[in-house]
């Protein structure tokens, strides 16, 4: 085939045909309407999305930028707004509870984030290579259930698990201390009972982190299982020929091959964990972040400022500060891991 | 096509434009159980009145009302406002001035419990909220615990020292004095307010948080906690209900409304084991209360006002509230009703409502201030728990709280 056949029809072709009678072709008013319709058609089809996006995403986004430079108690109505310049940002800078909340946010992001992946990667590897595929699907689905369960339900269940006097966790620890063989390991338990998981400031964060790990590890297992499935068998065969054992295959073959998946899952964890809200909110009963604000995350704090203290301007400023911090954290992650992380796609 | 569209718009407009006599009341449960019973009574005299209501749970209702006021749309003709929010809401400019000529609320003032009426006043001295129920503060106590110690209730509540002494005796018998020591601090902070001061701020908006009232309150709660006299149980938790059922906690400071909760679902099997008394140290205080207000955006203000007068100032509706949902009346003339003399089986035949009425008429009025919501969160939910649970020094905690609040409240 010649090059010409692939390119648009040459001009000469137009002239070579005899022109059709004009009446067939030109009906000026209708044609114009139709052309307009044709050009608008695609927009029409995507308009539901565009309208919803503008109403519920674009408008609130731009409005919150505007709001962050205002002082506004929402109950005074829209006319109650006062322009205050950057005051909200300046005040946020020396707000002790905001700093506390940022510390808590990062603490929780790291402590509840890292174990998710340390557990999910080996579990996914075992699921893909050591379990029959029919069973694997059942197991993966089971581990995915916490992720799709309502956070409110999860947090409420954990709330009663952690209950100091009647919670099952403390009861199990007490029970363990009475067992014959391992009892010695738990000998310290009766002395510290009841352990107040949710009302001691140094226990609140670990208690919240445990819930987050439990809830989101299954999601990462699904991502990593999908990743391990993509690794071709012949790479392992080649490694075996070179004398790699199972562990070496995992470390030197499987792990590097799923790098893009690790990168993706980590990105989601960083963004999600820095926005943690429901788990700490419910576990501390919505009560200014628990004792000593130990469970007060930044999302939680901006909710408190906006909805409990009715300072929407200050809350908007805090939300943009949080956005900036998430953006920076994600960029750092991209800078250090991005190039390697994306490698698998090339 | 154009015609059907026009018809559709007209129809939807009609649906939105309320008929005369149509009013909607926005509130939170259990008001619906009460309304279901009193709306038919109201309609006997107002045959054309069509009253509907929209109930959301307590927190959501107030968030929704906030959004309604912010955007100037979506609110009903009457809004129920909890006392915790009244200070912020009535000064917002979003509600009708009921002292105005169209309403003339001030003429009703004498019929109401004084402190509740005062709470519904804005900073400009006008009435924006009409109280509909109140929570006179009392102490519930277990009669069996009292008997075990071998004392009488009057010597227990004489002052805070005698109250704590009772706690020490109870401790020897493995009973806690109170569920949460923080309640004592909260009570003292809310009740021993000097004339002309707010809870957390004085008239000029200066913080009172490092004043003696707060130091005393914090120290007393700390003593109770440090001596192990409280069960360290938060309100509205399963452990709290368990404590009422098992009798592991001997006293609970609360509003009159707790009685209904105790006998209906928290601990019905403990009927006859309870008694009710004045608060310790001769304090008069209140727990909770609700107000009715008309949003400026309301469509049927005249009818709304008529119904508010019925709910708040008509003895029939007020007594019905007491019977239907245990909402304690704000109308002083109702206190002579025979319902107040009824002995209450749950309280071992004590005429509890007489005590509630006695307390209601003696609670001092404290004006709500802008910033109360933040101050309460920071002081009672924030630093008080650090003092009690983590042993933070009282003075330091109060200074921190003051610094935080000063930044936020301008």
Residue B222 lies in domain:
137-285+358-408
Q: Is B386 in Cβ contact with A77 (below 8 Å)? A: no
Examine the domain organization and report whether B202 and B150 are in the same domain: yes
Examine the domain organization and report whether B82 and B230 are in the same domain: no
| Residue B246: inside a domain | yes
Nearest of A230, A232, A217 to residue A265 by alpha carbon? A217
Residues B309 and B292: their CA atoms lie apart, in Å, by 10
A13 has a pLDDT exceeding 90: no
| Residue B11: inside a domain | no
**Structure confidence at residue B95 (pLDDT):** 93
Examine the domain organization and report whether B264 and B314 are in the same domain: no
Position with higher pLDDT, B169 vs A77: B169
**Structure confidence at residue A31 (pLDDT):** 67
Q: Does A67 reach chain B within 8 Å, measured CB to CB?
A: no
Q: Does B124 reach chain A within 8 Å, measured CB to CB?
A: no
Examine the domain organization and report whether B127 and B154 are in the same domain: no
Examine the domain organization and report whether B247 and B276 are in the same domain: yes
The series of mean pLDDT values per 10 residues for chain B, 410 residues long, is 48 47 89 92 91 92 92 93 87 89 93 92 90 94 94 94 96 95 94 87 89 95 95 85 93 92 90 95 92 94 94 94 89 92 93 94 85 88 90 93 83
**Structure confidence at residue A19 (pLDDT):** 54
CB contact residues (below 8 A), chain A span 117-136, against chain B: none
Q: Does A196 reach chain B within 8 Å, measured CB to CB?
A: yes
Query: Residue A190's pLDDT band (boundaries 50, 70, 90)?
Result: confident
Examine the domain organization and report whether B125 and B149 are in the same domain: no
Q: Minimal Cα distance from B68: which residue of A?
A: A75
Q: Is A288 in Cβ contact with B382 (below 8 Å)? A: yes
Tell me the chain B residues in contact with residue A285 when contact means C-beta distances shorter than 8 Å: 234
Q: Is B389 in Cβ contact with A74 (below 8 Å)? A: no
Number of neighbours of residue B77 by Cβ within 10 angstroms: 25
**Structure confidence at residue A27 (pLDDT):** 54
**Structure confidence at residue B13 (pLDDT):** 45
The last residue of one of the domains, among B311, B345, B379, is B345
A291 has a pLDDT exceeding 60: yes
Examine the domain organization and report whether B271 and B292 are in the same domain: no
Examine the domain organization and report whether B307 and B393 are in the same domain: no
Query: Residue A35's pLDDT band (boundaries 50, 70, 90)?
Result: confident
3-state SS assignment for residue B134: strand
| Residue B7: inside a domain | no
Query: Residue A17's pLDDT band (boundaries 50, 70, 90)?
Result: low
**Structure confidence at residue B20 (pLDDT):** 54
Query: Residue A340's pLDDT band (boundaries 50, 70, 90)?
Result: low
Tell me the chain A residues in contact with residue B238 when contact means C-beta distances shorter than 8 Å: 160, 163, 166
Mean pLDDT of chain A: 86
Least confident of A175-189, A233-247, A265-279, B74-88: A175-189
Of the candidates A94, A285, A292, which has its C-beta nearest B386's C-beta?
Answer: A292
Examine the domain organization and report whether B216 and B258 are in the same domain: yes
HEC string of chain A equals CCHHHHCCCCHHHHHHCCCCCHHHHCCHHHHHHHHHHHHHHHHHHHHHHHHHHHHHHHHHHHHHHHHCCEECCHHHCHHHCEECCCHHHHHHHCCHHHHHHHHHHHHHHHHHHHHHHHHHHHHHHHHHHHCCHHHHHHHHHHHHHHHHCCHHHHHHHHHHHCCCCCCHHHHHHHHHHHCCCHHHHHCCHHHHCCCCCCCCHHHHHHHHHHHHHHHHHHHHHHHHHHHHHCCCHHHHHHHHHCCCCHHHHHHHHHHHHCHHHHHHHHHHHHHHHHCCCHHHHHHCCCCCCCHHHCCCCHHHHHHHHHHHCCCHHHHHHHHHHHHHHHHHHHHHHHHHHHHHHHHCCC
Q: Does B409 reach chain A within 8 Å, measured CB to CB?
A: no
| Residue B159: inside a domain | yes
Examine the domain organization and report whether B243 and B379 are in the same domain: yes
| Residue B310: inside a domain | yes
Interface test with chain A among B57, B69, B84, B400, by most A beta carbons within 10 Å: B69
CB B359 within 8 Å of CB B276: no
Chain B: closest CA distance from residue A187 (Å): 24
Domains and CATH numbers, chain A: 1-50 (no CATH), 94-162+197-343 (1.10.3720.10), 167-196 (no CATH)
A173 has a pLDDT exceeding 70: yes
| Residue B17: inside a domain | no
Return the half-sphere exposure (C-beta side, CA atoms, 13 A cut-off) of residue A112.
29
**Structure confidence at residue B15 (pLDDT):** 44
Q: Is A291 in Cβ contact with B66 (below 8 Å)? A: no
Chain B: closest CA distance from residue A282 (Å): 13
Examine the domain organization and report whether B328 and B306 are in the same domain: yes
Average pLDDT of the segment spanning A155-184: 86
| Residue B255: inside a domain | yes
The last residue of one of the domains, among B345, B372, B389, is B345
Chain A: closest CA distance from residue B116 (Å): 22
CATH, residue B338: 3.40.190.10
* Domains: count for chain B: 2
Percent of chain A with pLDDT over 70: 89
| Residue B8: inside a domain | no
Examine the domain organization and report whether B294 and B307 are in the same domain: yes
């Amino acid at each position: 085939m010649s090059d010409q056949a692939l390119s648009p029809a040459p001009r000469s072709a137009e002239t070579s045909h005899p022109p059709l009678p004009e009446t067939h072709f030109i009906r000026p008013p209708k044609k114009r309407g139709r052309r307009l319709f044709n050009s608008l058609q695609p927009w029409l089809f995507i308009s539901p999305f565009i309208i919803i996006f503008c109403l519920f995403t674009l408008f609130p986004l731009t409005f919150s930028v505007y709001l962050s430079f205002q002082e506004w108690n929402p109950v005074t109505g829209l006319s109650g707004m006062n322009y205050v310049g950057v005051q909200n940002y300046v005040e946020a800078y020396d707000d002790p509870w905001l700093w506390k909340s940022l510390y808590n946010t990062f603490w929780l992001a790291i402590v509840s984030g890292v174990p998710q992946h340390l557990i999910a990667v080996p579990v996914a590897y075992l699921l893909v290579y050591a379990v029959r595929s029919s069973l694997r699907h059942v197991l993966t689905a089971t581990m995915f259930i916490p992720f799709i369960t309502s956070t409110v339900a999860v947090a409420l269940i954990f709330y009663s698990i952690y209950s100091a006097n009647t919670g099952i966790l403390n009861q199990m620890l007490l029970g363990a201390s009475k067992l014959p063989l391992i009892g010695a390991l738990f000998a310290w338990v009766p002395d510290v009972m009841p352990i107040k998981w949710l009302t001691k400031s140094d226990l609140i964060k670990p208690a919240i982190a445990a819930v987050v790990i439990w809830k989101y590890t299954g999601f990462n297992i699904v991502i990593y299982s999908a990743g391990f499935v993509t690794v071709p068998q012949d790479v392992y065969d080649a490694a075996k020929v070179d004398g790699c054992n199972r562990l070496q295959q995992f470390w030197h073959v499987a792990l590097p091959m799923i790098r893009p998946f690790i990168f993706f899952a980590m990105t989601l964890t960083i963004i999600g964990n820095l926005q943690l809200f429901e788990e700490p909110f419910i576990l501390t009963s919505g009560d200014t972040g628990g004792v000593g604000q130990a469970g007060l995350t930044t999302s939680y704090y901006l909710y408190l400022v906006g909805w409990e203290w009715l300072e929407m301007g200050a809350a908007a400023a805090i939300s943009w500060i949080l956005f900036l911090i998430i953006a920076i954290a994600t960029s750092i992650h991209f800078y250090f891991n991005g190039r390697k992380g994306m490698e698998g796609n090339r | 096509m154009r015609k059907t569209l026009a018809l559709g718009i007209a129809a939807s407009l009609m649906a939105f434009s309320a008929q005369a006599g149509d009013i909607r009341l926005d509130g939170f449960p259990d008001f619906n159980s009460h309304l279901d019973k009193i709306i038919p009574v109201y309609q006997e005299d107002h045959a054309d009145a069509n009253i509907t209501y929209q109930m959301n749970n307590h927190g959501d209702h107030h968030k929704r009302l906030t959004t309604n006021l912010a955007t100037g749309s979506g609110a009903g003709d009457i809004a129920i406002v909890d006392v915790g929010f009244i200070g912020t809401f009535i000064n917002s400019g979003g509600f009708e001035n009921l002292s105005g000529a169209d309403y003339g609320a001030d003429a009703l003032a004498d019929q109401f419990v004084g402190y509740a009426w005062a709470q519904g006043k804005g900073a400009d001295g006008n009435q924006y909220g009409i109280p509909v129920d109140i929570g006179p503060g009392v102490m519930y106590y277990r009669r069996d615990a009292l008997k075990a110690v071998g004392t009488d209730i009057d010597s227990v509540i004489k002052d805070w020292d005698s109250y704590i002494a009772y706690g020490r005796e109870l401790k020897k018998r493995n009973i806690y004095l109170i569920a949460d020591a923080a309640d004592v601090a909260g009570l003292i902070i809310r009740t021993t307010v000097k004339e002309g001061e707010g809870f957390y701020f004085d008239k000029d908006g200066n913080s009172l948080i490092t004043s003696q009232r707060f130091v005393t309150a914090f120290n007393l709660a700390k003593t109770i906690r440090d001596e192990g006299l409280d069960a360290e149980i938060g309100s509205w938790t399963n452990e709290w209900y368990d404590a009422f059922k098992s009798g592991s906690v001997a006293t609970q400071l609360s509003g009159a409304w707790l009685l209904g909760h105790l006998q209906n679902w928290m601990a019905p099997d403990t009927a006859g084991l309870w008694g009710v008394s004045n608060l310790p140290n001769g304090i008069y205080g209140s727990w909770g209360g609700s107000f009715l207000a008309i949003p400026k955006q309301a469509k049927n203000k005249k009818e709304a006002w008529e119904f508010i007068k019925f709910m708040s100032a008509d003895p029939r509706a007020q007594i019905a509230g007491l019977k239907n949902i245990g909402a304690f009346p704000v109308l002083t003339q109702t206190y002579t009703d025979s319902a107040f003399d009824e002995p209450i089986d749950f309280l071992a035949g004590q005429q509890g409502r007489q005590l509630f009425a006695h307390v209601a008429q003696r609670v001092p009025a404290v004006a709500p201030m802008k910033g109360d919501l933040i101050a309460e969160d920071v002081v009672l939910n924030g630093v008080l728990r650090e003092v009690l649970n983590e042993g933070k020094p009282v003075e330091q905690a109060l200074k921190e709280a003051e610094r935080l609040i000063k930044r936020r409240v301008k």
